[in-house]
Structure 1
Amino acid sequence: MAKNLLIVESPAKAKTINKYLGKDFIVLASYGHVRDLVPKEGAVDPERGFAMRYDLIEKNEKHVEAIAKAAKGAESIFLATDPDREGEAISWHVAEILRERGLLDGKPLQRVVFTEITPRAIKEAMTHPRDIAAPLVDAQQARRALDYLVGFNLSPVLWRKVQRGLSAGRVQSPALRMIVEREEEIEAFRAREYWSIEAECQHPSQAFSARLVKLDGQKFEQFTITDGETAEAARQRLVSAANGALQVTDVTSKQRKRRPAPPFTTSTLQQEAARKLGFTTKRTMQVAQKLYEGVALGDEGTVGLISYMRTDSVALSVDAVAEIRDVIARDYGTGAVPDQPNVYKSKSKNAQEAHEAVRPTSALRTPAQVSRFLEDDARRLYELVWKRAVASQMVPATLNTVSVELAAGSEHGFRVSGTTVLDPGFLAVYEEGKDTKGKEEDDEGRKLPPMQPGDRIPLDRIHADQHFTEPPPRYSEASLVKALEEYGIGRPSTYASIIATLLFRKYVELESRRFHPSDVGRAVSKFLSSHFTRYVDYDFTARLEDELDAVSRGEEAWVPLMERFWSPFKEMVDDKMESVDRSEATGARELGTDPKTGKPVSVRLGRYGPYAAIGSTAEDAEDKPKFASLRPGQSMHTISLEDALELFKMPRALGEHNGEEVSVGIGRFGPFAKRGSVYASLKKEDDPYKVDLERAVFLIEEKEEIARNRIIKEFEGSDIQVLNGRYGPYISNGQLNGKIPKDREPASLTLEEVTKLLEETGKPARGRFGKKAAVKKVAAKKAPAKKTAKKATKKTAKKTTKKTVAKKAAAKKTAAAKTDA
């Protein structure tokens, strides 16, 4: 048994480090977190100082047992989990488990930290161990407790007032609010017309266009001209005044420096990977994790290629800067190296425990040298990290901007600008991407012909162009991460999970790489913004993050922070659970009146999604209202009265087939075709408003054919059947489903065999309504003994089903509570 045990999170990380430490060490992985709060209410107890009840995570129990077994025989134990709050918490949980089992008696247990997985970094870390940092653990526990209390208390309010199965998270909810508010801005936006005027000039050496900046002696601004008639009149005045040429009145030239962007933090890496590589935040972090944990580089072995990728810091170590400067001098010349290293300061108040920025572990490993060892995603991301880090230590770019003023007579003026690069500096390696481009970026790269005051530039034509103002753009992943960071909401490790949760809950959808809130998402956001304003307020959330940072620095105790949050929060939850009207919470919207019946038409959010209603939905209404689900792509916030009335044209009668009426309708579970008593769901590609008779009959007969072939074998006097299912043959009595041995031919099974198999392998049949009936058939008369047996089977199945439902309900509630937004 090795003398020393070192514990990390991931097996890939363990494999790499194991090669560096030699035979005196055994390196094991915890596979992430090893404990979590118990999945039930009371896991965090505000009455007992917010005491937290933990339990082993089931999927990692075997890894914990392996660690415990190795710890029993080890002389020293080292905890080398990731260098952030989550990593510190994992180390603390592992230590607590070992301590509770009496495996630390008389043994040194120490924490080691490194931000890159290289032999040098590991060796350095092992010579400077420390104790577990209690402030970092406290900050992580406080965050986990806050998220738990918000989820377990706020989610049930949403279930009762909006829709079952919803969740609310402490950080997820402000992020959702951002997306929803942007959508509301877009809907409220009213486009304004405006006109621009440009002159196309024919200089002998190069044609160029100049934009109008002065009209009739006045500065020409965006909304100076707002209609075509005025624009044409102005254009004609300009043509007349120019008389075939524009006069150069002034030429100015100005040099400026542009500094390189700092090396990557987590958020800027996610933003730039989205802009330049088209990566989602989740994909970026997954690829970065692999680059950090290690890649096999041929004879060199497995090496971590980038430093730790969860960081707010833009700082680089002295050694890293020295190596980068050497690479710059070697590959781009000594003139590209500044006299002194470039120093960057983080905007974050608590730059991820003073880590370095994301950088290559060795700048000497150029993208060209390691590309053959990397998959495409890893190659592209490594190249991005390498170029950004190297460019950050290069000289600024020197740009020259030339602006030329051109006159059309004495009352009108045009201007053209061009920017050229005199010295590329860092631009020889890397240029930061932008979400939107301004006029300055449009001018870059445009080289103007030589001109001087007094020159007359031949005029080809003057044209006026119509434009309309555009609404603010919807958030992309990059711009949402940027906004969250600017507001101080969340931390580097949470951005990807925030976005993943919003998508998983279907609160938002990504269309053309932009976030669109769903009707459910808007209802949740509106409810929280209206009734829990403080807790989705951007400033409040940011201040809470600052307080958690203060805990991580040891400047504040975590329990008083929790007490300040909990009391008013719980009081508000209890009040809103009783006082809020559900119709208000679901965002009911009146559209107008149905011309046929004179009844009101409204849209609202129901249990199964948004729907339209004709008539009053009040419980005491005399006439029962008519309901119709909204179609895919329709929103209850933008649907018109006309489109809503179209929904009520269902069901559509398509005609007769074999003497039976065929129709198409939309039910609670989606669109369907019907012939007689047979229903068949439409496919995703079928539009219920356009499906014809032929297609409907095809779907119905397809279903009937499947049903005919479903029964493999039946047994007289028994309700047990051998059936074809989605995943192969199985046994069912309508209450329980049983497995068939792989070596048995399903059709050859006897009644005794299926009865025994059902007893041994039977599990409650599950379906749309919580149970799944067997294929319908005419039941034969059964002997009394069989009836008794059937009742007993049903009773057992019912009992088992209740247990299963209870477990699933508890798990669902826990999942909602664990959602950090």
Structure 2
Amino acid sequence: RLFPEDKGRIVTIFLLNFFRKYVGYEFTANLEEELDEISAGDLNYKEVLARFWRDFSAAIGETSELRISEVLDRLDEALAPQLYPPREDGSDPRACPVCGSGSLHLKTSRTGGFVGCSNYPECRYTRPIGGEEQGGGDRVLGEDNGDEISLRSGRFGPYVQRGEATEENKKPPRASLPKGWDAATLDLERALMLLSLPREVGKHPEDGQPISANFGRFGPYLMHQKPDEAKPVYANLKDPNDVFEIGMNRAVELVDHKRANPGRGRGSAAKPVRELGEHPEKGGALNVMEGRYGPYVKWEKVNATLPKEMTPESITIEQAVALVEEKAAKGGKKTAKKAPAKKTTAKKTAAKKAPAKKAATKTASGETDA
């Protein structure tokens, strides 16, 4: 099944309000017929493009003159039935449920659209466009050690929170719901599991340092750092539930494997699969590397993919030289410019020496005449 996301809702309503012609059935049907005529050679494609761009460019020009507030007001009005459904008690569906005096309006940020209170920044109430229809409404899940555990909705999605923000504790513990967790079915037990993170899986048997599991920006992971390491090692976990269930044996296996195979992080260089030696004519290391699309030979800035009949183990240095020379010739790399540079230097040297010889001849001639 497909589920509309907040950005998708915003884009759809925007197009329907400001570019209705171009998302309508009649326009797309006529355009399809014109494309068939172009394909059959009965219509000039340049004429179709010119006509389309003339009208479309004018529509863009009109829309670009609108202020963002005007666009948001139009979208807010169009989305009102979905954003502000009638309440059971008959109260104003646009009234802010937190401060009571503010009015809810559609707003936008770098991450997409959301509903927020007009009293911002005094009132910081926000919720996703889907609101309570997506199971993201604020609700109390229960209590733990005297603290109220609640499920809340923010502009970045649903999250759980322990207690309330106070003067002494302006940032109470919070935890976002992992991908795949349904806010509508979340209970107190699972909320407490999230708030208890990071979870210490155990101590690494080699150095006694803890291995911890947690959720991060890119999903669930394990973390371990040896005493002599400048940075910790992070190993990804496939299943979000592994954060709470993975045991020591598997955790040690994953972090050790990641440490032995760090991969190509940002700024790190790949290690050769096989070192073939120096280029016999021009110098520079010839190495076989493993790339995203298969093995290749690397020499200076030239990368030449290995043909299917060659393997990193079987390729010879002669074959590698032939591959990089062929690739350099096709790509116009700097390697082709080295020879002319040497000739230029030689010519300059010869030009300087020639006058010296002539001068010597004249001097000798002058002495003879004398």
TM beyond 0.5: no
TM-score by length of 1: 0.22
